Structure 1
Amino acid sequence: MYRTILVPTDGSDASAAAVDHAVDLADRYDARIHALYVVDSGSYGVLGESTPTVVEALHEEGSRAVSAVAEAAADAGVEADTAVVEGAVHRSILDYAEEAEADLIVMGTHGRQGIDRYLLGSVTERIVRSSPLPVLTVRSADDSYGLS
């Protein structure tokens, strides 16, 4: 059913929950995981001269995040590819999914919070609305939405 599963990650708890689901599915279907971190460098252009430093730090953070996914996959005997790219987050995820010929995108319902969440809307929501392939959204364990 699934051969290639894309897991966009930002290193958050919601991403970690999505990784667990993606690795389980990949193991079950003998699929390959693609871990992707997108550096939204356009959002940091207002920082002037410090922008390259911030972008470099984000690339390092991205490398750590995708490495954690690859490690989780390896622990389960699942093959994984990793990538850190720059661009508009939702567009980069969709473009990567197409390039990797992904069959499924697995992502957390909420990543890191911040002004982008309120100005641009949820990245996950944008992916769900515009993806031509199935998207599995996963809540983190501590994301109860006020439910008891």
Structure 2
Amino acid sequence: MKIMAALDQSKHAVGILEKAAQQAKMCGGELSILVVAEDFMDIGDYLGESASISEKCLAAAKVAVADYAARAKALGIEAKILLEQGVSPADLIVKVAEDNKIDLLVLGSRTKKGLDRFLIGSVASKVVAHAPCSVLVVR
């Protein structure tokens, strides 16, 4: 079974990684770790910044994915590392899952309160709706 943990750089990502590693161990599956660096329209380009916002996001994502790989190894799992950059994390997660023939996606959900949950579409909701495989959403 091919399992992919789609992780952001939040404080909840380690718990999601642990759940994905647990699933991989239980079924003898392969674990991939995906981190998406969001690509923003760079206002830094207009302000004369030497490094664009997107480049900074990508650099931070590279650090995060290396840390997650080390944590997976400490949990006894060798993980395949995947790093993508784009405007829509949900679209990229679904595409990577399709391209890699993933059987189970593990990702987190940040609970929105009040009107935010209706006005702002969450990544997890979009992935669940469009994923080519089963999705485990960790809260």
TM-score range, shorter chain: 0.7 to 0.9
> Over aligned residues, Cα RMSD in angstroms?
2.3
The reply on whether 1:45 has 2:44 as its aligned counterpart is no
Aligned amino acid, residue 125 of structure 1: S
Any unmatched runs of 5+ in structure 2? Answer: 112-116
Q: Percent identical across equivalent pairs?
A: 27
Instruction: Specify which structure has the higher proportion of helix.
Output: 1
The C-alpha deviation readout for 1:73-117, integer Å capped at 9, x for no partner, is: 211221211122112211100010111111100011129xxxxx8
CA distance in 2, matches of 1:14, 1:107: 10
The C-alpha deviation readout for 1:30-71, integer Å capped at 9, x for no partner, is: 212111111221xx2151514952112111211122122211
1:18 matched residue in structure 2: 16
2:2 matched residue in structure 1: 4
TM-score by length of 1: 0.78
Q: How does 1:125-144 map to 2 (within 5 A)?
A: 125-139=125-139
Residues 45 and 51, structure 1, Cα contact 8 Å, conserved in 2: no
Q: How does 1:1-148 map to 2 (within 5 A)?
A: 3-41=1-39, 44-49=40-45, 50=49, 53-87=52-86, 88-110=88-110, 120-139=120-139
Instruction: Specify which structure has the higher proportion of strand.
Output: 2
**1:11, distance to aligned residue in structure 2 (A):** 1.8
Any unmatched runs of 5+ in structure 1? Answer: 112-116, 140-148
Residues 3 and 31, structure 2, Cα contact 8 Å, conserved in 1: yes
CA distance in 2, matches of 1:8, 1:19: 8
Task: Evaluate the alpha carbon distance shift between residue 30 and residue 86 of structure 1 in structure 2; reply closer, same or farther with a 3 A threshold.
Answer: same
Report runs of 4+ in structure 1 exceeding 6 Å deviation.
none
Aligned amino acid, residue 25 of structure 1: Q
Q: 3-state SS of the aligned residue for 1:45?
A: coil
CA distance in 2, matches of 1:108, 1:55: 23
**1:120, distance to aligned residue in structure 2 (A):** 4.3
CA distance in 1, matches of 2:130, 2:74: 32
TM-score by length of 2: 0.82
Q: 3-state SS of the aligned residue for 2:22?
A: helix
